């Protein structure tokens, strides 16, 4: 049974693409990934390696938080928050009160004073726990948000504050680990050999996702299936490797932007997570596709114009799910004064699906190369599968471009500038 299907719509100029030209490079990268031990490759087998005790610990902690709090505050940025946010948006229903979980709010992913002030104000009548997440333990945004919320927790809970703070950080080192040990906060480990944007399937993502009421056992089951399916060395049989090769080939032929597109608004944070994963992994040494995204049909009424007729620098990757659990039917109207009865045998999902097909055809005819990724069902199993698929494809893509998928030397430049400015005595205007 295939859990994920990859297909393409390319015009004649791209029809000559021969996958077999990449067989040898893929095979070398495949073995490199399997064998390197000095790199941050722990995520590759993480879904298989995580133990039942570790999952139980997360479940127990999640039950405790749900029983004693109205809100979980997750403090983190980049890879330390986007995965949990993406899964929560994709799987926890809109508008309705969560059935098996509580509200999870994200903080420390920006430096806005107004966001912070309003967040603290919103907590006044509600009980909360804090989960601060940082692999390095020294990230500016996370650290200052944690300072504010530590103070506020003490104001609210006094001596008991420390029982409501959970620290998720590097298993071996770091300032946050030292603080947690000194203050007696409970700790969850991020394996040292897993970097931020590949850490979703560790406690970084799993605790907040579980507190939001999503079944983490199913997420891990989907990811485990992906580990097995996507460890196939033969390029023709490995969808992650095929996706990596397709995007590399398009990049080599001059396309500069990959636009991830989907027709379900709940996937918009999967887009954000994907952008961070590919942008930080590939964008270095003056190389790399620029990862961008659109939410259709909303963006058909804005960026759709550019995609159809603008500068032909992009290709589109459509992400979709065959079966969705919820739908809304269009009622029949005797008067038909809005002239919509021709659609009354259809549901929103039907119309959405047909809109997707129409958009793919129009953009293809407008000269945009199309990749389509389709999964069976929008559920925890397939989301786990998809996220692992993207991580594996991303690492392979970066190696095809001959860059290291696991470092981010470029982010040091702005960090140094900010630090220098913050250390200056005079106020910079
Ligand atoms: O992927 C990465 O490594 C980064 O995006 C980090 O996740 C981000 O900078 C946050 O780092 P930390 O978890 O150390 O606070």
Residue 142 lies in a domain: yes
Q: Which atom of ligand 1 is nearest to the CA of 142?
A: 15
Q: Which of 264, 280, 282, 316 is catalytic?
A: 280
Last-in-domain residue among 214, 245, 266: 214
Q: What is this structure's pTM?
A: 0.96
Could you tell me if the CB of 196 is within 6 A of ligand 1? yes
Is 162 among the catalytic positions?
no
**Residue 426 within any structural domain of the chain:** no
Is it true that the peptide bond before 135 is cis, omega within 30 degrees of 0? no
Q: How far is the CA of 87 from the centre of ligand 1 (A)?
A: 18
Answer yes or no: do 206 and 235 share one domain: no
- 273 contact partners, CB below 8 Å, separation of at least 6: 82, 83, 85, 86, 200, 387
Looking at the structure, tell me whether residues 238 and 376 fall in a common domain.
Answer: yes
Query: Could you give the ipTM of this predicted complex?
Result: 0.99
Same domain, 392 and 266: yes
Q: Ligand 1: distance of its center to the CA of 83 in Å?
A: 12
Query: 137 and 277 share a domain?
Result: no
Same domain? 32 vs 46: no
- Domain shared by 18 and 143, yes or no: no
Q: Does 181 share its domain with 279? A: no
Final residue of a structural domain among 173, 199, 214: 214
Q: How far is the CA of 76 from the centre of ligand 1 (A)?
A: 8
Q: Verify that 319 and 334 share a domain, yes or no.
A: yes
Are 99 and 205 within one domain? Answer: yes
In a domain, 420, yes or no: no
Q: Are residues 50 and 88 in the same domain?
A: yes
Cβ atoms < 10 Å from Cβ of 198: 28
Give the domain-ending residue among 160, 181, 214: 214
Tens-binned pLDDT, residue by residue, of the chain (429 aa) = 789 999 999 876 666 677 778 999 999 999 999 888 767 999 999 999 999 999 999 999 999 999 999 999 999 999 999 999 999 999 986 666 667 889 999 999 999 999 999 999 999 999 999 999 999 999 999 999 999 999 999 999 999 999 999 999 999 999 999 999 999 999 999 999 999 999 999 999 999 999 999 999 999 999 999 999 999 999 999 999 999 999 999 999 999 999 999 999 999 999 999 999 999 999 999 999 999 999 999 999 999 999 999 999 999 999 999 999 999 999 999 999 999 999 999 999 999 999 999 999 999 999 999 999 999 999 999 999 999 999 999 999 999 999 999 998 888 888 889 989 998 865 554
Work out how many domains the chain is built from and give that number: 2
d(CA 290, CA 304): 18
Q: Does 416 reside within a domain?
A: no
Is 34 a catalytic site residue? Answer: no
From the CA of 133, give the closest atom in ligand 1. 13
Domain that holds residue 278: 4-37+221-400
Count how many residues are written for the chain. Answer: 429
Axis crossing angle, helix 380-400 with helix 268-282, rounded to the nearest 10: 20
Residue 411 lies in a domain: no
Tokens of 320: 């979709």
- Output the domain CATH number for residue 360: 3.40.50.10490
Pocket lining: 78 vs ligand 1, CB cutoff 6 Å: yes
Q: Which two tokens stand for residue 380?
A: 């925890």
């Amino acid at each position: 049974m295939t859990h994920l299907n990859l297909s393409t719509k390319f015009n004649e100029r791209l029809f000559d693409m021969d996958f077999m030209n990449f067989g040898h490079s893929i095979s070398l990268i495949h073995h490199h990934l399997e064998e390197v031990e000095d790199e941050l490759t722990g995520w590759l087998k993480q879904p298989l390696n995580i133990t039942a005790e570790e999952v139980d610990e997360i479940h127990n902690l999640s039950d405790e938080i749900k029983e004693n709090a109205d809100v979980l505050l997750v403090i983190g940025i980049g890879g330390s928050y986007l995965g949990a946010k993406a899964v929560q948006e994709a799987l926890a229903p809109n508008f309705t009160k969560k059935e098996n979980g509580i509200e999870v709010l994200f903080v420390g992913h920006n430096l806005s004073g107004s966001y912070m002030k309003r967040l603290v104000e919103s907590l006044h009548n509600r009980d909360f726990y804090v989960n601060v997440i940082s692999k390095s333990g020294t990230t500016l945004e996370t650290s200052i948000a944690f300072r504010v919320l530590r103070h506020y927790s003490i104001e609210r809970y006094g001596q008991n504050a420390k029982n409501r703070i959970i620290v998720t950080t590097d298993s071996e080192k770091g300032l946050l680990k030292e603080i947690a040990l000194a203050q007696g906060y409970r700790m969850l480990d991020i394996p040292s050999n897993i970097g931020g944007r590949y850490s979703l399937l560790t406690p970084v993502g799993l605790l907040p996702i579980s507190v939001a009421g999503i079944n983490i056992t199913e997420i891990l089951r989907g990811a485990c299936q992906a580990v097995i399916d996507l460890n196939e060395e033969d390029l023709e049989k490995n969808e992650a490797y095929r996706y990596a090769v397709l995007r590399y080939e398009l990049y080599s032929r001059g396309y500069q932007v990959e636009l991830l597109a989907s027709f379900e608004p709940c996937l918009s944070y999967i887009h954000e997570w994907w952008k961070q994963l590919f942008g930080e992994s590939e964008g270095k040494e003056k190389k790399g596709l620029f990862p961008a995204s659109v939410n259709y049909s909303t963006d058909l009424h804005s960026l759709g114009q550019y995609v159809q007729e603008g500068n032909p620098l992009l290709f589109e990757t459509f992400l979709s799910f065959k079966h969705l659990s919820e739908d809304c039917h269009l009622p029949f109207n005797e008067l038909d004064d809005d002239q919509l009865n021709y659609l009354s045998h259809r549901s929103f999902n039907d119309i959405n699906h047909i809109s997707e097909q129409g958009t793919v055809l129009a953009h293809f005819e407008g000269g945009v190369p199309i990749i389509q990724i389709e999964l069976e069902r929008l559920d925890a199993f397939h989301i786990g599968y998809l996220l692992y698929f993207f991580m594996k494809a991303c690492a392979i893509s970066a190696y095809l471009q001959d860059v290291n998928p696991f470092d981010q030397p470029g982010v040091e430049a702005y960090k140094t500038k900010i630090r220098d400015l913050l250390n200056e005595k005079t106020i910079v205007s």
